[in-house]
Amino acid sequence: MVQPRKHLAQHWLKSEKALDAIIKAAACQASDRILEIGPGTGILTRRLLPLVQSLVAVEIDYDLCKLLVKQLGKTENFLLLQGDFLTLDLPSHTAAFPNFQKQNKVVANIPYNITGPIIEKLLGTIALPNPEPFDSIVLLVQKEVAERLYAKPGSKAFGALSVRVQYLADCELICTVPAAAFHPPPKVDSAVVRLHPRQIETPAIDPRKLENLVKLGFGAKRKMLRNNLQPVIERDRLTQLLEKLEINPQTRAEDLSVNQWVTLANELGVGSRGRWGDEGDEEDEGDEGDERDKEENN
């Protein structure tokens, strides 16, 4: 049995209750083709395989791959790919396996330190959405990141990550998972979330402009929005525009809904200045986790 490796910050999920919640949230059908990122020891994989048509698992750890091959290598609806999910070209690796192409659902317990990049690869970005979106994405993530994903405007957790994800998908909290559900327990609690990619409700005229505006607007959450956006619009003009849109001129970035961000970006398309936030930084996000939560939980 492969033991959790400290240098990889590995933690094995052991809670049957958490596994049950993930399986229920996935709502698997016999025709589903599943993508699992970071199967680890295969505890979730083994629960999924009898329920679906096929499952593609991507694992970076060579020793864990050997274990999975030994235990599940003869399972007809299981395909294991060794590599880094962020750089792996899934279509090319599954091209020779018709039954494993075009996965329609994601069910995964992902490494917390790369949560942001994983979600971006699954959903795409505001400017470049995934052209073939998944039916649903069920993820076990750090609790604080989960709170950002489904946060409502006006809440402390609502930030640039919230806008980017909610522009492309509906997000719901399934359940929280305590640190004790893992071996060894990580330093943070976790949560199961479900994303439903959907058609964009209010499309931006220029999605790239919206993407950069959100980045700039959340550059310093403690400042009023009109101060953060000065690189692209004069303060007085922005105040007038906010009043036109019936938005308090003293509002902060986290107070605007996704649709309001889209409307603001569309209105700013004429007569604005600057580089639209290409150089901006997001002060509040921590999408990829911080030093205390760089955990790979499987």
Q: Are 122 and 141 in contact (CB under 8 A)?
A: no
Q: Are 1 and 20 in contact (CB under 8 A)?
A: no
Provide the CA 196 distance to its chain's centre, in angstroms. 11
Residue 13, marked binder: yes
State the Cα–Cα distance between residues 210 and 216, nearest whole angstrom: 10
Residue 282, marked binder: no
Residue 228, marked binder: no
Q: Are 58 and 38 in contact (CB under 8 A)?
A: yes
Residue 38, marked binder: yes
Residue 59, marked binder: yes
Give exposure, 156-179, as e/b (b: 16+ Cβ within 10 Å).
ebbbbbbbbbbbbbebeebbebeb
State the Cα–Cα distance between residues 195 and 138, nearest whole angstrom: 6
Provide the CA 262 distance to its chain's centre, in angstroms. 20
Q: Is 119 left (phi over 0), alpha (psi -120 to 50) or beta?
A: alpha
Q: How many CB atoms lie within 10 A of CB 7?
A: 5
- Residue ranges of the annotated binding site are 11, 13, 38, 59, 84, 109
In the annotated binding site for S-adenosyl-L-methionine, the residues are 11, 13, 38, 59, 84, 109
